[in-house]
């Protein structure tokens, strides 16, 4: 995957996934959808995320363990598969740690493309962890954001981001308030599994687009409740976001709009430059489906990847026992 990204360029990869997202969100009603299966413990979560059309099935295995850095492991690690639904044949088995960062950046840009002000040029990045560079590159290369104001409680993380993106206009700020002052877009991407209030209502200015991508499981939030009442809230799959997103703080009848509706009916999106829009992202399996579809198309076009013996190919498909060499010699 790293070789594919290096060869094609990160911008091309993110644009390719955005293209697949546009296609798949445009046919939202044809998908079999369900919230992910999640097994939680005190230190984190392991999740399975399936999605399918009538032709293809995809799933992602992914964890989220914020303290993994203490053991020299990533907070998020993932892999996934894309299969032919009609036969069950697995066409692709892929790493998805790097790919998840790409698809998350692609999804953020996809949402902002439809919800943020068209003339946006300034963005705050709250949280400078593993996904932050992908977010900033995506917004710079695809949406033309020129100035970035970043903050992290860990100064080493902010310095790492600025070092990695030295060619961009990145300013390290001393507080969240300083970072969000006067910007068009605010992206929150924090990892702690707590009910945090990264943004409060007093920080929100007219015309802002809030891209909240870190609150993604029960008991984990980034936005104070009064932020959610400042504008229209957009989600991926409402049944999942009600449980996992920032709107878990709100009543069951708190109004939200699923993103696919904005594609079909633009009037469901931003209607003025003074309006506040809030994207409460938790990550949905359809997005991984789109990302895996893009990877599979690149593997076919550019000959990446290699065949592996993942499933048996047998002369007699009804004789697994004999094919496996388990036949006993009779004496």
CATH number for 147: 3.40.50.720
Q: Could you tell me if residue 112 is inside a domain?
A: no
Judge if 196 and 299 occupy the same domain. no
C-alpha distance from residue 327 to each of 66, 151, 218, 254, 311 (Å): 48, 64, 50, 62, 20
Judge if 84 and 42 occupy the same domain. yes
Summarize pLDDT for 62-82 with one digit per residue, the tens. 998 989 999 999 988 999 999
Cα-to-chain-centroid distance, residue 208: 21
- For 138-155, b/e burial (b = at least 16 CB within 10 A) is bbbbbbebebbbbbbeee
Which one of the listed residues 24, 152, 216, 288 is annotated catalytic?
216
Look up 216 and say whether it is catalytic: yes
Which among 111, 23, 98 is positioned nearest to 297, based on CA atoms?
A: 23
Judge if 156 and 212 occupy the same domain. yes
**Rounded to whole angstroms, how far apart are CA atoms 140 and 217?**
28
Q: Which helix (H) or strand (E) holds 199?
A: strand 195-199
The parent domain of residue 292 ranges over: 2-98+286-323
3 state SS of 143: helix
Q: Could you tell me if residue 331 is inside a domain?
A: no
Structural domains of the chain, count:
2
Summarize pLDDT for 150-163 with one digit per residue, the tens. 999 999 999 999 99
Q: Which helix (H) or strand (E) holds 51?
A: strand 44-52
Judge if 278 and 291 occupy the same domain. no
**Rounded to whole angstroms, how far apart are CA atoms 60 and 93?**
10
196 has which bridge partners? Answer: none
Judge if 277 and 299 occupy the same domain. no
Judge if 178 and 309 occupy the same domain. no
Judge if 20 and 155 occupy the same domain. no
CATH number of residue 60's parent domain: 3.30.1780.10
Judge if 308 and 263 occupy the same domain. no
Judge if 156 and 47 occupy the same domain. no
Q: Could you tell me if residue 294 is inside a domain?
A: yes
Q: Could you tell me if residue 105 is inside a domain?
A: no
Judge if 292 and 274 occupy the same domain. no
Tokens of 280: 């409460």
Contact 184, 117 (CB under 8 A): yes
Q: Tell me which residue has tokens 């990446």.
A: 304
Q: Give the per-residue pLDDT at 194.
A: 82
- Kindly give, in sequence order, each residue whose CB lies less than 8 Å from that of residue 285, ignoring residues fewer than 6 positions away: 33, 34, 36, 49, 50, 51, 58, 59, 60
Contact 33, 49 (CB under 8 A): no
Q: Could you tell me if residue 261 is inside a domain?
A: yes
Q: Which residues of the chain are modeled with pLDDT < 70?
A: 328-331
Tokens of 248: 């878990």
Contact 215, 222 (CB under 8 A): yes
Which among 254, 260, 199 is positioned nearest to 229, based on CA atoms?
A: 254
**Rounded to whole angstroms, how far apart are CA atoms 183 and 201?**
15
Q: Could you tell me if residue 216 is inside a domain?
A: yes
- The β-bridge relationship of strands 90-95 and 78-84 is antiparallel
Q: Give the per-residue pLDDT at 147.
A: 98
Q: Tell me which residue has tokens 């993106």.
A: 165
Q: Could you tell me if residue 72 is inside a domain?
A: yes
Judge if 156 and 252 occupy the same domain. yes
Q: Could you tell me if residue 329 is inside a domain?
A: no
Judge if 290 and 226 occupy the same domain. no
């Amino acid at each position: 995957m790293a070789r594919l990204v290096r060869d094609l360029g990160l911008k091309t990869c993110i644009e390719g996934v955005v293209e697949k997202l546009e296609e798949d969100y445009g046919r939202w009603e044809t998908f079999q959808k369900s919230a992910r299966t999640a097994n939680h413990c005190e230190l984190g979560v392991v999740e399975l995320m399936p999605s399918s059309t009538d032709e293809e099935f995809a799933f992602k295995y992914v964890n989220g363990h914020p303290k993994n850095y203490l053991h020299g492991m990533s907070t998020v690690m993932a892999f996934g598969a894309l299969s032919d639904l009609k036969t069950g044949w697995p066409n692709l088995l892929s790493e998805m740690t790097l790919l998840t960062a790409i698809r998350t950046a692609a999804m953020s840009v996809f949402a902002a493309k439809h919800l943020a002000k068209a003339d946006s040029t300034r963005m705050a990045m709250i949280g400078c962890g593993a996904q932050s560079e992908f977010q900033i590159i995506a917004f710079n290369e695809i949406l033309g954001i020129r100035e970035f104001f970043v903050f992290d409680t860990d100064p080493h993380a902010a310095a790492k981001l600025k070092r990695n993106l030295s060619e961009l206009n990145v300013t390290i700020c001393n507080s969240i308030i300083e970072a969000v002052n006067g910007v068009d877009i605010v992206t929150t991407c924090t990892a702690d599994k707590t009910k945090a209030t990264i943004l409060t209502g007093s920080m929100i200015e007219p015309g802002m687009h809030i891209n909240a991508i870190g609150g993604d499981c029960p008991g984990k939030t980034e936005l104070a409740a009064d932020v959610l009442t400042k504008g229209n809230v957009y989600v991926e799959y409402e049944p999942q976001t009600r449980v996992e997103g920032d709107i878990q703080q709100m009543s069951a009848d708190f109004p939200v709009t699923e993103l696919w509706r904005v594609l079909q009916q633009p009037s469901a999106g931003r209607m003025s430059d003074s309006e506040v829009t809030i994207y409460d992202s938790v990550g949905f399996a359809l997005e991984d489906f789109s990302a895996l579809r893009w990877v599979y198309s690149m593997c076919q076009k550019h000959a990446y990847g290699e065949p592996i013996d993942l499933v048996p190919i047998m002369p007699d498909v009804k004789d697994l026992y004999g094919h496996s060499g388990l036949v006993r010699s009779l004496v």
